[in-house]
Structure 1
Amino acid sequence: MKIKATNKRLFRIIQVMIIIGTLVSANVLFTMVTKTHIWTGHNVLDSRISNSIVHTTVSAKRGEILDRNGTVIAQDTTAYTVIAYVDSSNVDANGKANYVKHPKQVAKKLKTVLTDIDVDQVADTIQNAKDKGLSQTELGAGTKRISKSKMKKIKKLKLAGIDFEETVTRKYPSTPFASNLVGFATYDEDKQKIVGKLGLEQSLNKYLSGTQGEMTYHQTVSGDVLPGTTNVIKQAEDGANVKLTLDANLQKTVETQLKKTMKDNNAESAWCVVMEPSTGKVLAWTSYPTFNQNTHKTIPTFTNLISESAYEPGSVMKPFTFATAIDTGVYPKDETYRAGSFLYTYDASTKKITRIQSGSTPYPAINDALGEDFGTITFDQALAYSSNVGICELLANYVNYKDYGKYMKKFGLYQKVGTPWINEVAGQKNFSMPMGYLNSGFGQGSSITILQLMQAYTAIFNDGQMMMPYVVDSITDADTGKTIKKYSPTKVSKPISSDTAKQVRELMSHVLDDGAGGEKFKMDGVDMVAKTGTGQIYDSKTGTYKEDTYTSSVMAAAPSDNPKVMVYWGMVSDNYLNYSAEPFKQIMQAALVYEGVGGQDEKNAKKYTSWASYDMPSLLNHSVDYAKEQMNGKKVHVVYIGNGDNVMNQYPNAGQTINSNDRIFVLTDGNSISMPDMTGWTQKDITAFSQLTGITIKTSGSGKVSSQSIEAKQPITSDSVITVKMK
């Protein structure tokens, strides 16, 4: 029985083999007789069939770059390359001739859509393909990886012989978007894939690019793939996605305001970085001039001003000198000095700098900016007025030379920060006695990067703890979502004590006082600390400082007692005296809204997290219903005063700019007024309410209202005595 079963199996196997052999023989015989391939239907004698096997790569999809909320910053999108059929035997689906008959005419028509192409070059490319007996050809520069909209426009021209091959290109939906930071990627003809060429696109290329696959197939002369001949040797692996710490909405605000800064001040360059001092997370990073990442035809500079350009920052360096004096216990808080001009001698044997009132000295006098003479002032006032002479007094008579050098090193200045994936330079330290030492105290003679400055200031804004700035949040697998790398806040060191940091912030709060150096940057209702800087620019060609061009900048943080956000804004321009602080204010306000800090309403009121600006409408002499219609949809908090039906007064006035989370006051003609919940109100809000109602409100402390003497919703009149505490 077993032998018979085995024989049956062998018989069946032999039958199958005979059938397969018969089919193969029939296929060969059919092809020999009919000259037609049985599977594809192609004529085997057709000259367009290639006998070679094509071995090619399969492109991997490049990973996306996203903001912290998942908004796409960079991604691969479908694009199209124009091709021309040049073989007169080529026909379309309807059997009509489909090839380019007149190259020059076709090139001219393509020019109406693809404005950058060279008509003669395109025409010559087509003609050369004809002369070589090719079936089709690409058309060269300006015709590759075009957008879908341009492809559709060309199709509408109905040009015989013109077709498209689908491909991919790199797209930046919101460009310019931190252009020198994010950079750009473009198709590399040699590598036959999209490759990062600048910025994070370049430094993170190994993660973003993925791994290419491999495949083989039979191809016709015209480039068609014969069906059923494709063989995948290796699957392509898509690139990883990169999530940044940047916030797209805030970044757009910064881009807009820097563009305005450049235009209004005829600036050579401008920059802004917004960061969380407690974490080091960079929320916005921009330097101008910038470029369009989708075309990147003209790139004004390949240098990232934030990390790759060393500069002399000017007086924004002064708080570090004060911090050194305070932390080493030598700060002369209650003492005074004579401002105006610092003339000095230097004894090399004792390394002693001695101030003199007059006499001969080989060293140039150091003056306060613009020839100002503040008279006899305290050292506290020295920072508020940004006195260079005050810095010289501290460094010559109080701060130890070696201690100063140690603290600058502890602050991470004149050395690379080490932010992941960011190219940096270290800058140049010049502490040579006596000139280099004195000049460095007010930000001249030595150079640093903006990135170094941001890191150093976190120690002042974060109670002594210095945090490393970082821009990459995570790298994740595009298919599985699995985290490949994760970046977290990094504590670098604690160069100063918490108490020193608080004292320096207190000194910086007076920079915004009326008449002080940073008065123009003061913002109503924002409790802020700041330090301005005006720096000279060294001209390497002449070996001297430029006479009419300076850096103008401001470093600020809010709230002053516990900073949640820090902003460094600046520019290079000849308008260093009368420039507007409005761009900085718009950026700071947007940053505060983002952090949920600025302009918040009563305890339970909604906080708007997106930024918007409006023109205040005219509500005066209209009904309350009309006022509500006008204010509907605006991301502000409206306080209606009184129980009336008509509007008697308003704040702000019509036409003024109002921003997200601002508090708006509308006074009605009602006889009854209820006490509002003033929790979180600023001094500006209190003043507006008092002026509209005529009710006096007494305040104690500073900051925002934390408590009030009359409970909310209680009736109040012009005779009411209201006291609020602020902190």
Structure 2
Amino acid sequence: MSVRKSNRELLKMISRMTLIGTLVVANVLFTMVSHKHIWSQKSALDPRIASSIVEKAVTAKRGTIYDRNHTVIAQQTQAYTIVAYLDKGVVDVNGNPNYVKNISSTAKKLKSVLGEDVNEKALVKIMKSAKKAGKSQTELGSGTKRIKKSLMKEIKKLKIPGIGFIDAVSRYYPATPYSSNLVGFAAYDEDKQSIEGKLGLELSLNALLKGKNGKEQYQQTVDGSKLPGTTKVIEQAKNGKDVVLTLDSELQSTVETQLRSTMENENAKSAWCIVMEVDTGKVLAWASYPTFDQNEHKEIPSYQDAISTSTYEPGSVMKPFTYATAIDTNVYPYNKTYVSYQFWYDYDASTGKITRLPIGTNSPYPYIADALDENFGTISFDQGLAYSSNVAICELLANYINYSQYSKYLDAFGFFQKVDTPYVDQSLGVKNIGLPTDYLSTGFGQASSITVLQLCQAYTAIFNDGTMVRPYVI
């Protein structure tokens, strides 16, 4: 082959390569500018890909609350938020159009599943406003966020064009109501973008339970999902701590059932129950009625917990503490008797002495009687406690126990002060023994107010031979 012929072949090869290269470059430039292939005129981009990079909080898993046997009381669960796709360019995974074609019909179908939780007119307004604003998609507001899986499946069955779901989380209480005022509830906070405690232990333990949210970046498709392979973790989420309570679910269920029955059958305004191990202080059941559904918590009848935050005049359950004071100060009148019918009395302010008067004697103070003005006759003080005699208490406080001793013992038993039970909201009550009538009345459970939690702690001192233990639930 001559040199000239070789050069011609080389020139042809270079020309062909140059032409091919030019066409490739032109095709690439055309595609970059138009986002279409030069020959087929089809889009070169996945139509699902949105143009923005999304930075999103990664929600930390909220800790689970268990009973003493690790039965779940409260847990984080999967939920779903409804989203409406409004852009005609939105397609499903098969490339078929997937947008809301009829707003009114869509709202009506959603209402048929979600019921009273949503307002049909509000759904229509939200979708029309979003479409007018040029939004490709929109959430639908109240009643459509963090819905249960069962509702999500019902909506899917309707095959409503343009309706999809975004993964979300919610708080779930399997056995609600379950000591609702003590355990409380947690709900998703839109501002903080996490589940936050709103009442009870869920609130007081919030810092431990909630953990710390992380952050991630990813490219978003038009249907709101992540484009695979584009996720970048900026900050790792730290899950919250689990909490184990002393409550026993079987016993708690029994208590809930009985209190519910009491409220209904007796037409009661309130009822409460606490079950505690006297030697350890472990609370096995705790319930306060009226109660509420912790999964719904739309209407909470009372923010007061009858066990720890409601104060009341406890009545005759205070009498053993008056007897205990007399016994512990060595003034209890063993083998002595008293007249149990009506305690008429006078008070000498100069000496602080209360003197019993004959029945019917004029006095500035009202007489004190036993329930239903019962007359047990002349009985021993042991019998007085067995009969729950108010007059026996008055005799002890007037003739055996002095004022300062009684005041000191009320404090020693832990009344009118906070019980050292961690994370539980508490009230103090009122120590009202300044006047002689209030002093005597406090001895049989009137005039002064306490909490049930204080009462339980005080009784452990009696049942444990003087050793008082603290009630606790965690």
TM-score by length of 2: 0.90
> Take 2:26 and 2:385, find their aligned partners in 1: how far apart are those partners?
98
Q: Kindly indicate whether the alpha-carbon contact (under 8 Å) linking 1:31 and 1:37 is maintained by their aligned counterparts in 2.
A: no
1:438-457 mapped onto 2 (5 Å cutoff): 438-457=440-459
**1:408 partner amino acid:** L
Amino acid of the structure 2 residue aligned with 1:67: D
Q: 1:275 to 1:47 in 2, by over 3 A?
A: closer
Q: Provide the residue aligned with 1:104 in structure 2.
A: 104
Shift of 1:44: 6.2
Q: What SS class does the counterpart of residue 63 from structure 1 fall into?
A: coil
* Residue 31 of structure 1: how far off its partner (Å): 5.3
Q: Which residue pairs with 2:135 in the alignment?
A: 134
The C-alpha deviation readout for 1:409-462, integer Å capped at 9, x for no partner, is 110011110200111111110111311110100111111100000000001111
1:246 offset after TM fit, Å? 0.4
Q: Deviations over 1:75-107 (max 9, x none)?
A: 011111111111122222343322112212211
Report the alpha carbon displacement of residue 32 of structure 1 after superposing the two structures with TM: 3.2
Which of 426, 432, 442 does residue 430 from structure 1 map onto?
A: 432
Could you tell me which amino acid in structure 1 is paired with residue 159 of structure 2?
A: K
Residues 105, 416 of structure 1: CA spacing in aligned structure 2 closer, same or farther, 3 A cutoff? same
Superposed CA deviations along residues 302-327 of structure 1, whole A, max 9, x for unmatched, are 11111111111001000000000011
> How far 1:33 moved relative to its partner?
3.4
Indicate yes or no: 2:385 matched with 1:383. yes
CA distance in 2, matches of 1:221, 1:46: 8
Aligned to 1:596: none
From 20, 28, 32, the equivalent of 2:29 is: 32
Q: Is the counterpart of residue 274 in structure 1 residue 275 in structure 2? A: yes
The CA deviation string for residues 116-146 of structure 1, in whole angstroms up to 9 with x for no partner, is 2100001111111111111111111111111
Cα distance in 1 between the residues matched to 2:214 and 2:48: 30
Matched-pair contact (CA < 8 Å) for 1:134–1:222: no
TM-fit CA distance, 1:370: 1.6
Q: Does 1:61 align with 2:58?
A: no
CA contact (8 A) 2:47 2:90 kept: no
Are the counterparts in 2 of residues 351 and 433 from structure 1 also a CA contact under 8 Å? no
Amino acid at match of 1:412: G
Q: Give how far 1:233 is off.
A: 1.3
2:463 aligned residue: 461
Opposite residue 455 of structure 1, the aligned amino acid is Q
Q: Distance in 1 between matches of 2:93 and 2:223?
A: 16
Q: Distance in 1 between matches of 2:125 and 2:173?
A: 33
Distance 1:244 1:461 in 2: 24
CA displacement 1:214-245 (0-9 Å, x = unmatched): 12223356534344332111110110000000
1:97-246 equivalence runs, <5 A? 97-115=97-115, 116-220=117-221, 223-246=224-247
Q: CA deviation at 1:37?
A: 11
Q: What is the identity, as a one-letter code, of the residue corresponding to 1:80?
A: Y
Distance of 2:402 and 2:164 partners within structure 1: 76
Q: More strand per residue: 1 or 2?
A: 1
Higher relative contact order (CA 8 A, sep 6+): 2
Q: Is the 8 A contact 2:50 2:221 kept in 1?
A: yes
Pairwise CA distance, 1:170? 0.4
**Counterpart residue number, 1:609:** none
Residue of structure 2 equivalent to 1:693: none
Which structure is larger by alpha-carbon Rg, 1 or 2? 2
Distance of 1:32 and 1:350 partners within structure 2: 108
Closer, same or farther: CA 246–288 of 1 in aligned 2, 3 Å: same
Does the C-alpha gap of structure 1 residues 29 and 201 become closer, same or farther in structure 2, counting only changes over 3 Å?
Answer: farther
Amino acid across the alignment from 1:392: C
- Local SS of the residue matching 1:214: strand
Partners of 2:44 and 2:251 lie apart in 1 by 62
SS in structure 1 of the partner of residue 114 of structure 2:
coil
1:183-208 CA distance string (max 9 Å, x none): 00000000001000000000000110
| Structure 1 residues 89 and 247: alpha-carbon distance in aligned structure 2, compared to 1, 3 A threshold | same
What amino acid is aligned across from residue 469 of structure 2 in structure 1?
A: M
Contact 2:185 2:294 in 1 (8 A): yes
Name the CA distance, whole Å, in 2 between partners of 1:245 and 1:47.
51
Matches of 1:247 and 1:145, distance apart in 2:
30
Change over 3 Å in CA distance of 1:37–1:182 after alignment to 2: farther
Are 1:70 and 2:67 matched, yes or no?
Answer: no
Deviation (angstroms), 1:285: 0.4
Cα 1:132/1:45, change in 2 over 3 Å: farther
* Structure 2 counterpart of 1:81: 81
For 2:371, the equivalent position in structure 1 comes to 369
Cα 1:47/1:214, change in 2 over 3 Å:
closer
Letter in 2 for 1:439: S
1:328-339 pair list within 5 angstroms: 328-339=329-340
Instruction: Using the TM superposition, give the Cα deviation of residue 339 of structure 1 relative to its aligned residue in structure 2, in angstroms.
Output: 1.3
Closer/same/farther in 2, CA of residues 48 and 70 from structure 1, 3 Å limit: closer
| Structure 1 residues 378 and 163: CA distance shift in structure 2, 3 A | same
1:333-383 superposed Cα distances (whole Å, 9 cap, x missing partner): 211111121111000000000010132111111111122111111111111
> Does the CA contact (< 8 Å) of 2:353 and 2:398 recur in 1?
yes
Q: Is the 8 A contact 2:47 2:91 kept in 1?
A: no
Distance 1:70 1:31 in 2: 62
Identify, as 1 or 2, the structure richer in helix: 2
Relative to 1, partners in 2 of residues 1:37 and 1:289: Cα closer, same or farther, differing over 3 Å?
farther
Alpha-carbon spacing, 1:55–1:90, altered in 2? closer, same or farther (3 Å) = closer
Correspondence for 2:9:
none
Structure 1 residues 513-555: Cα deviation after superposition (integer angstroms, max 9, x where no partner):
xxxxxxxxxxxxxxxxxxxxxxxxxxxxxxxxxxxxxxxxxxx
Name the counterpart of 1:258.
259
Alignment of 1:173-572 (within 5 A): 173-220=174-221, 223-357=224-358, 358-472=360-474
Mapped to 1, the partners of 2:109 and 2:460 lie a distance apart of 59
Change (3 A) 1:233 1:388: same
Tell me how large the CA RMSD over aligned residues is. 2.1
Deviation per CA, 1:567-611: give whole Å up to 9, x if none.
Answer: xxxxxxxxxxxxxxxxxxxxxxxxxxxxxxxxxxxxxxxxxxxxx
5+ residue gaps, structure 1, are 1-26, 473-727
Whether contact under 8 Å (2:87, 2:99) holds in the other structure is: yes
1:103, 1:124 within 8 Å by CA — same for their partners in 2?
A: no
Measure how far apart 1:385 and its partner are.
Answer: 1.0
CA contact (8 A) 1:66 1:244 kept: yes
Q: CA deviation at 1:30?
A: 7.1
Q: Classify 1:148/1:221 alpha carbon distance in 2 versus 1 (closer, same or farther; 3 Å).
A: closer
Structure 2 portions without partners, runs of 5+: 1-23
Take 1:88 and 1:307, find their aligned partners in 2: how far apart are those partners? 58
Q: Which amino acid aligns with 2:114?
A: L
Q: Is the 8 A contact 2:49 2:220 kept in 1?
A: no
Post-superposition CA distance 1:468-512 (Å, at most 9, x none): 00000xxxxxxxxxxxxxxxxxxxxxxxxxxxxxxxxxxxxxxxx
**Inter-partner Cα distance in structure 2 for 1:317 and 1:236:** 51
- Give the 3-state SS of the residue equivalent to 1:446 in structure 2: coil
Q: 1:146 to 1:327 in 2, by over 3 A?
A: same
> Hey, what's the Cα distance between the residues in 2 that align with 1:397 and 1:389?
12
Q: Work out the number of aligned pairs and report it.
A: 444
Paired residue for 2:12? none
TM-score with structure 1 setting the length: 0.59
Asked whether the equivalents of residues 60 and 214 of structure 2 are also in contact (C-alpha less than 8 Å), the reply is yes
Cα distance in structure 1, aligned partners of 2:341 and 2:454: 30
Q: Report the secondary structure of 1:154's partner residue.
A: helix
Residue 114 of structure 1 aligns to a residue whose secondary structure is helix
SS at the partner of 1:200? helix
